[in-house]
Amino acid sequence: MSDQVTLTRDGDIAVVTVNNPPVNALGTAVRQGLVRAMDDIDADTSVKAAIIIGEGRTFPAGADIREFGQKPQPPALWEVCTRIEETTKPVIAAIHGTALGGGLEISLGAHYRIADPKGRVGLPEVLIGVMPGAGGTIRLPRIIGIAPALEIMVSGRQVPAQEAHALGIIDRLAETDLLDDAKTFARALIAEGAGPRKTSDRTEGLGSDAENAAALQAARDGIVKKAKGLYAPARMVDSMEYSLSHSLLEASHYERDAFMSCLGTPQQQGLNHAFFAERASSKVPENGRAEPRPLNKIGVIGGGTMGAGITVAALNAGLNVTMVERDDESIAKGRQNVEKVYARDVQKGRKTEDQKAAIMARYIPSTDYADLADADLIIEAVFENMDVKKEVFGILDKVAKPGAVLASNTSYLNIDEIASATSRPQDVIGLHFFSPANIMRLLEIVIPSKASDDAIATGFALAKAMKKVPVRAGLCDGFIGNRILAKYGAAAAYMVEDGALPYAIDEALVNFGYPMGIHAMGDLAGLDIGWSNRKNKAASRSNDTRYTGTIADRICENGWFGQKTGKGWYVYEAGSRRGTPNPDIDAIITQARADLGITPRDFTEEEIIRRYLAAMINEGAKVLEEGIALKPSDIDVTFLFGYGFPRYRGGPMKYADMYGLENVLNDLREFEKEDPKFWKPAQLLVDMVEKGETFDDLNKRALA
């Protein structure tokens, strides 16, 4: 057959096994092997039924994404699915793991489907900027209906086997061993004389022509609009509509063309990059050199928003957590903060009272540091002040067991200095969570100069257990994310001083794909955070750089800290998270411009984006140059998962590649004329443009 597809026999049942680790992706050899297997099954009169199953952890999880953009090799996946459907003996797909994309399409080409109850199915192509291209838009609606099929495709979600069974995608759930149960299913079909049941001939999911047309229109009006500028969803609806009035062959060609029209678009490139960047971020040298230390019991110092969020993330990962606060009142609040999250889960039906109780049983609140003596890893989430942090680490040094990893959640402070408060700097790392820590997936793992490889590997193991996306960050002010944020935040502040309205900047960012603009985001996070930061740094501020806080400080001086005070850049009606421009801001801006001697000028949306992104990319290049980030895709991951950068643009460094590094450099050169210090291009960027390199080249080199 092929190394990746084998055909074995059990009496009159043929078993076709796909073996292409790690996820049995449907690469060329698998596709060829499947077609050959179907030919053999048809030719062999002693075969009465066939089963397709995946070896290892999963049924095929889709087309081989790495082949996208390369010259297509025959047979096309849609042809394979149709070939399976045309097989003259009943074919059963036996699904375990994740039958996604082309994997689900293969199973829809089969005549029957049985699934492991823990399995999941889905058509997540939209998440990588494409659409089903092997019959998904043709076959799925015929079984389950247009609206449910589109919901699955447009969301890209993984549907649990039970739900897929209830929807009619899966015929049977396995009760014992998947392959044994599939054989029992096959024998029953043989005994009944049941022949092939072609999905493309089925119609039970469809309604009358008028009903189908209404469902398609509703999809266009609803879910497709919600897909926020993504290209693929509308093409899925087109393809589905076309298939309702055309032959399978015509519909397959139409769907294939629609799929091909998604390939190579900037959105597909961005999303594809995001997929691999996310998986590459934990590929760090320390993980190759050392094994993580055991992780069962976690300590968290601090029960505020951040400490409680970290506690919930750890509890959700199945870990035991001891939370320490300084007194009874604070720990009671800490406990409340944790309970609140689970109470909401119960209220929303996401958890039962029993599940909540079982989780809370792993949570120990305490006011005594000695209770951390058996913790494997302790995360400090106290007030952002060096003296306070050093005091905490001094205590931890005394109470923690040897080998415990001691982590600081600081977002700016020098962790080398924090580690100096202990006698074991090799055990100290930074774990910079983002708020709310139980929801935000980014975790910067910050590497102080003396941290040992296994302490760092333990940080990555914790991230994996918590289902976080870890990014390795070197030590500097703000690490990767906040350091770069400070630069583009400054670019935005200068634009407001120079003439742009904060609302125009926010609108430009939303149009670019951000869920909200930087000023709305500031209101959400609390404007007092930046204010206090600026005050802390006032002493060390140099006079030769333009101050970024002139306007923001004046807003804070009025006691307007954003959503929590009902007023900031925007005004918020009681209970509302959507603001309208604060009418008092205009006067503050006008006064600040007058004080600074600035004559305001106009900014187009295009210029706003150019400045914002140039500041971001340039600082990203400096972060790379200094080795703070190991590779450009780590910066992308940081901004995709921590700062709302639109995923379909791939992240700032991927965006830079697509925009053209030479264009970025030209923008910087243009802005440099007005402020040579702020806009000075990173040497790395200059060198890369000279050599004709891209950030993707650096990614490849880092991963080689």
Which residue in 25, 496, 556, 684 binds ligand 3H9 (CB under 6 A)?
25
Name the minimum Å distance from CB 256 to ligand 3H9: 7
Name the minimum Å distance from CB 5 to ligand 3H9: 16
Which residue in 185, 231, 242, 259 binds ligand 3H9 (CB under 6 A)?
259
| Closer residue to ligand 3H9 (CB): 292 or 365 | 292
Which residue in 33, 90, 119, 132 binds ligand 3H9 (CB under 6 A)?
132
Do 580 and 523 form a contact (C-beta atoms < 8 A)? no
| Closer residue to ligand 3H9 (CB): 215 or 262 | 262
List binders of ligand 3H9 among 51-70 (CB under 6 A): 61-66
| Closer residue to ligand 3H9 (CB): 102 or 579 | 102
Which residue in 5, 13, 16, 23 binds ligand 3H9 (CB under 6 A)?
23
- Residue of 85, 105, 380, 619 with catalytic role: 105
Q: Is 133 in the site for ligand 3H9 (CB under 6 A)?
A: yes
| Closer residue to ligand 3H9 (CB): 243 or 618 | 243
C-alpha 623/C-alpha 486 separation (Å) is: 13
Do 456 and 284 form a contact (C-beta atoms < 8 A)? yes
- Residue of 67, 85, 86, 125 with catalytic role: 125
Nearest to 84 by CA among 64, 60, 65: 60
| Closer residue to ligand 3H9 (CB): 134 or 684 | 134
Is cis: bond before 581, omega within 30 of 0? no
Burial label, 449 (beta-carbon count in 10 A; 0-12, 13-18, 19+): exposed
C-alpha 193/C-alpha 171 separation (Å) is: 17
| Closer residue to ligand 3H9 (CB): 225 or 467 | 467
Name the minimum Å distance from CB 157 to ligand 3H9: 11
Q: Tell me the Ramachandran region of residue 502: left when phi exceeds 0, alpha when psi lies from -120 to 50, beta otherwise.
A: alpha
Structure tokens at 266: 């900037």
| Closer residue to ligand 3H9 (CB): 31 or 593 | 31
Which residue in 33, 54, 101, 646 binds ligand 3H9 (CB under 6 A)?
101
Angle between helices 652-659 and 266-280 (to 10 degrees): 140
Q: Is 202 in the site for ligand 3H9 (CB under 6 A)?
A: no
Of 132-140, 420-428, 590-598, 689-697, the segment contacting ligand 3H9 by CB under 6 A is 132-140
| Closer residue to ligand 3H9 (CB): 218 or 263 | 263
Burial label, 581 (beta-carbon count in 10 A; 0-12, 13-18, 19+): middle
Amino acid at 329: E
Q: Is 626 a catalytic residue?
A: no
Q: Tell me the Ramachandran region of residue 349: left when phi exceeds 0, alpha when psi lies from -120 to 50, beta otherwise.
A: left
Question: Binding string to ligand 3H9 for residues 137 to 166, with x set by CB under 6 A, is what?
Answer: ------------------------------
| Closer residue to ligand 3H9 (CB): 63 or 144 | 63
Which residue in 22, 349, 402, 692 binds ligand 3H9 (CB under 6 A)?
22
Name the minimum Å distance from CB 517 to ligand 3H9: 31
Name the minimum Å distance from CB 282 to ligand 3H9: 9
Residues 6+ apart with CB under 8 A from 547: 541
Of 122-130, 205-213, 484-492, 496-504, the segment contacting ligand 3H9 by CB under 6 A is 122-130
Q: What are the helix (H) ranges across 540-597?
A: 550-557, 585-596
Of 131-139, 412-420, 455-463, 594-602, the segment contacting ligand 3H9 by CB under 6 A is 131-139
- Mark 342-374 as b/e (b = at least 16 C-beta within 10 Å): beebeeeeebeeeebeebeeebbbebebebbee
Name the minimum Å distance from CB 23 to ligand 3H9: 4
For tokens 């093409």, the residue is 235
Amino acid at 159: V
Question: How many angstroms separate the Cα of 592 from the Cα of each of 481, 493, 499, 588?
Answer: 29, 12, 11, 6
List binders of ligand 3H9 among 417-436 (CB under 6 A): none
Q: Are strands 120-122 and 159-160 parallel, antiparallel or unpaired?
A: antiparallel
Q: What is the DSSP annotation of 471-493?
A: EEE-SSTTTTHHHHHHHHHHHHH
DSSP state, residue 155:
H
Of 133-141, 308-316, 368-376, 456-464, the segment contacting ligand 3H9 by CB under 6 A is 133-141
- Rounded to 5 degrees, φ, ψ at 286 are -65, -35
Name the minimum Å distance from CB 549 to ligand 3H9: 42
C-alpha 600/C-alpha 655 separation (Å) is: 30
Residues 6+ apart with CB under 8 A from 30: 2, 4, 5, 18, 20, 24, 60, 64
List binders of ligand 3H9 among 360-389 (CB under 6 A): none
Nearest to 101 by CA among 147, 69, 68, 72: 68
Do 406 and 396 form a contact (C-beta atoms < 8 A)? yes
- Total binding residues for ligand 3H9 by CB under 6 A? 25
Q: Are strands 428-433 and 405-408 parallel, antiparallel or unpaired?
A: parallel
| Closer residue to ligand 3H9 (CB): 98 or 438 | 98
Q: Is 98 in the site for ligand 3H9 (CB under 6 A)?
A: yes
Q: Is 105 a catalytic residue?
A: yes
| Closer residue to ligand 3H9 (CB): 443 or 685 | 443
Name the minimum Å distance from CB 260 to ligand 3H9: 8
Name the minimum Å distance from CB 135 to ligand 3H9: 8
- Rounded to 5 degrees, φ, ψ at 476 are -170, 175
Of 121-129, 218-226, 433-441, 526-534, the segment contacting ligand 3H9 by CB under 6 A is 121-129
Which residue in 16, 38, 80, 100 binds ligand 3H9 (CB under 6 A)?
100
List binders of ligand 3H9 among 523-582 (CB under 6 A): none
Chain residues that interact with ligand 3H9, rule: CB under 6 A? 22-23, 25, 61-66, 77, 98, 100-102, 105, 124-125, 128, 130, 132-134, 136, 259, 279
Q: Which residues are catalytic?
A: 105, 125
